[in-house]
Amino acid sequence: MAEGKFGTCINCMDGRTQEPMIAWMKKGFELDYIDMITEPGPDGILGLRKKELADSIKSRVLISTEKHGSDTIVLVAHADCAGNPVTYEEHLSHLRRGMEYIRSWDLDVDIYGVWIGDETWLPDVVASIER
Ligand SMILES: [Zn+2]
User: pLDDT tens digits, residue range 71-111?
Assistant: 999 999 999 999 999 999 999 999 999 999 999 999 999 99
What pLDDT does residue 2 have?
A: 78
99 CA distance to ligand 1 centroid (A)?
17
Give φ, ψ of 61 to 5 degrees. Answer: -60, -40
106 CA distance to ligand 1 centroid (A)?
26
Q: Is the pTM of this model over 0.85?
A: yes
Q: Phi/psi zone of residue 58: left (φ > 0), alpha (ψ -120 to 50 degrees), beta?
A: alpha
14 CA distance to ligand 1 centroid (A)?
5
pLDDT at 1 over 80: no
What pLDDT does residue 12 have?
A: 98
Residue pair 40/58 in contact (Cβ under 8 Å)? The answer is: no
Average pLDDT, the chain: 97
Output the CA angle 50-116-91, nearest 5 degrees. 35
19 CA distance to ligand 1 centroid (A)?
14
DSSP assignments along 52-66, one per residue: HHHHHHHHHHHHHHH
